[in-house]
């Protein structure tokens, strides 16, 4: 990547869920890219708590064969790879789903350059703040193109 600045990104919870369910998709590949410092993930306390609550739901543990202990270990490792964001401003309500508000607020407060989600339409209001929204696949392709 040379002198290129590291992109500041917020990952929606559904990206982590998809990564936990399958190692074959773009969401899992993005977590590998995060570990390899190809981008900087931004996380607020409410968003990290959301990650934990959702990843520990039985319907999300079973498909990946994960346990609560494995999930805690993953979240501990994730916390070492992220930049904490303090929420100084709340922008609610902007979105239809209140659970998505903390994702958008983390992105705006952290001056993210991209929000990555599997539900791009749910974040249409991000355009009011000139915040691009992409799917994991789109973001992964962009990361791979930069490395060429």
pLDDT tens by residue, 47-67: 999 999 999 999 999 888 899
Instruction: Give the per-residue pLDDT at 92.
Output: 63
Instruction: Provide the whole-model pTM.
Output: 0.91
How many structural domains is the chain composed of?
1
Q: How far apart are CA 8 and CA 1, in angstroms?
A: 15
Q: Which of 50, 58, 62, 65 is nearest to 16 (CA)?
A: 50
In a domain, 63, yes or no: yes
Q: Residue 101 domain-assigned?
A: yes
- Per-residue pLDDT of 82-127, as tens digits, reads 999 999 866 666 667 777 888 999 999 999 999 999 999 999 988 9
Residue 1 lies in a domain: no
Of how many residues is the chain composed? Answer: 148
Q: Is residue 3 part of a domain?
A: no
d(CA 137, CA 71): 24
| 78 lies in some domain | yes
Rounded distance between C-alpha atoms, residue 53 and residue 48, angstroms: 9
Tell me whether residue 54 is in a domain. yes
Given a contact cutoff of 8 angstroms between Cβ atoms, the answer to whether 41 and 9 are in contact is yes
Per the CB < 8 A criterion, the answer to whether 64 and 20 are in contact is: yes
């Amino acid at each position: 990547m040379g002198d290129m600045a590291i992109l500041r990104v917020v990952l929606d919870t559904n990206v982590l869920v998809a990564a936990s369910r399958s190692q074959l998709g773009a969401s899992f590949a993005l977590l590998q890219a995060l570990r390899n410092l190809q981008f900087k993930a931004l996380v607020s306390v409410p968003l990290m708590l959301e990650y934990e609550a959702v990843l520990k739901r039985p319907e999300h543990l079973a498909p990946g064969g994960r346990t609560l202990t494995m999930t805690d270990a993953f979240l501990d490792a994730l916390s070492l790879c992220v930049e904490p964001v303090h929420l100084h401003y709340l922008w609610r309500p902007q979105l239809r789903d209140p659970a998505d508000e903390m994702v958008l607020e983390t992105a705006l407060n952290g001056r993210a350059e991209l929000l990555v989600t599997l539900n791009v339409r749910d974040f249409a209001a991000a355009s009011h703040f000139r915040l691009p929204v992409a799917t994991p696949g789109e973001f992964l392709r962009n990361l791979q193109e930069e490395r060429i």
